[in-house]
Amino acid sequence: MTKVDIISGFLGAGKTTFIKKLLSDVWAGEKLVLIENEFGEIGIDGGFLKDAGIEITEMNSGCICCTLVGDFSKALVKVLDEYHPDRVIIEPSGVGKLSDVARAIEAVEKDADIEIDGRITVVDGKKAKMYMKNFGEFFKDQVEHASTIVVSRTQMMTDEKVEECVHTLREENAEATIISTPWDELGKEAISHALTKGAEIESLFEDHEDHDHDHDHCDHDHHDHHDHDHDHCDHDHHDHHDHDHHDHDHDCCCGHDHDHHHHHHADDVFTSWGKETVHKYTEEELDYLLKALSETTSYGTILRSKGIIQMTDGGWKQFDLVPEEYEVREGQPDYTGRICVIGTDLKEEELLKLFHV
Ligand SMILES: Nc1nc2c(ncn2[C@@H]2O[C@H](COP(=O)(O)OP(=O)(O)OP(=O)(O)O)[C@@H](O)[C@H]2O)c(=O)[nH]1
């Protein structure tokens, strides 16, 4: 029996950081495979997991909708056959819907020796309210369908803010176990306990859902989605040029009426802008651009940015940005500098100038 854990969470919530914690503290010694799908990702944070000896399957990012469900099912079947792992960790994109991903796994569950162990959603405690309000369609789905909710950054929040955040989450999900203690204070036992409690809820979920819906809207074979036409997703996939989209269709084949249900494609709402850069940045330039992206709307609504760039002194820096916050670390030399910005209403011309590309 292979256990499957989904670690979902909005852009920059802290999924990768929490996965690191689980790997070192909770799942150490298990044979693990990670399947990840990043929205407009440029492979910036893959390194550490590879170093940890974890098998990683990266999926092309695409239209994050029903076709993604097919892609997850396929990726899962493949890693089960290839590696026979104890556990598969699935990290959907920050703008993926947890319900879609869970459905993909349930489809595989019928024919394979797997069980969903946890539907874990990482929530940036400082931004839960704002994301619920502005990006509710994506954010809410991740909260509603979670068996365990892990709140990040609570060490940077006042007690009142933590309470308010938990209250906001509880309104959407009355059952989930909520981890609100800062992770650094948590040992293996506490995390395992929260996940186990979540897993009990997971089994309730399954009973509940089997009665409530019969998964009728996406029950056809997603594996042969290559054969379908590109009839729904003819919109611009922006700068995802380095992903091989043409192999995939994005036809939202499940047949339900997206507009009617107010479903949107993530690609229609969020834009990912990625560029390679050979520009060498000064400390001042880097500081200026990170402040501009995290504190102003001059470049659009920036939700996430990551990059690895070379500095004028020859060293390399890696940065990680979410609204109002960023982090810069020393980086290893890479074949070229790379940057990625995700948000809404991105001003791409302005971004080109800002990054000197
Ligand atoms: N201080 C603090 N920083 C955190 C915490 N969780 C995440 N971060 C920081 O937030 C940034 C984003 O964290 P990631 O773990 O990369 O988030 P992610 O959800 O994987 O992000 P995506 O790449 O958008 O999927 C990084 O700079 C982290 O160091 C936390 O609990 N405390």
CA of 322 to the centre of ligand 1 (A): 8
Largest CA distance in the chain: 62
Sequence letter at residue 105 = I
Give mean pLDDT, residues 275-299.
97
Answer yes or no: is the C-beta of 62 below 6 A from any ligand 1 atom: no
Cα 152 to averaged position of ligand 1 atoms, centre (Å): 8
Ligand 1: residue whose CA is nearest its atom 1: 153
- Amino acid 230: pLDDT: 36
Does ligand 1 have an atom closer than 6 angstroms to the CB of 301? no
CA-closest residue to ligand 1 atom 23 = 12
Tell the residue number behind the tokens 């495979």, with chain if given. 33
In the prediction, which pLDDT does 111 show? 86
- DSSP-derived letter for residue 95 is T
Ligand 1 contact, 321 CB (< 6 A): no
Domain boundaries, the chain: 2-217, 270-354
Render pLDDT for 39-50 as a digit per residue (tens, 0 to 9).
765 555 555 556
> What is the fold, at CATH topology level, of the domain defined by 2-217?
Rossmann fold (3.40.50)
Condensed to tens digits (0 to 9), the pLDDT of residues 133-168 reads 999 999 999 999 999 999 999 999 999 999 999 999
Atom of ligand 1 nearest to the CA of 306: 23
How remote is the CA of residue 345 from the centroid of ligand 1, in Å? 23
What architecture is domain 270-354? 2-Layer Sandwich (3.30)
Q: Cα–Cα distance between 82 and 74 in angstroms, integer?
A: 12
Residue 280 has pLDDT above 70, yes or no: yes
Q: pLDDT by residue (tens digit) across 199-224?
A: 787 666 665 554 444 433 333 333 33
3-state secondary structure of 35: strand
State the average pLDDT over residues 240-259.
37
Atom of ligand 1 nearest to the CA of 38: 25
Q: For residue 49, with 0-12 CB atoms within 10 Å meaning exposed, 13-18 middle and 19 or more buried, which class applies?
A: buried
Helix residue ranges, H only, the chain: 15-21, 47-51, 66-83, 98-109, 128-134, 136-144, 159-172, 188-212, 266-269, 283-295, 348-354
- Cα of 94 vs centre of ligand 1, distance in Å, is 11
Q: What is the pLDDT of residues 252-266, one digit of tens each?
A: 333 334 444 456 777
Nearest CA to ligand 1 atom 15: 14
Give the ipTM.
0.94
Rounded to an integer, the average pLDDT of 54-73 is: 63
> Does 179 score more than 90 pLDDT?
yes
Label residues 241-264 b or e (16+ Cβ within 10 Å = b). Answer: eebebeebbbbbbbeeebeeeebb
- The pLDDT of residue 188 is 92
Q: What is the pLDDT of residue 252?
A: 38
The whole-angstrom separation of Cα 218 and Cα 103 is: 8
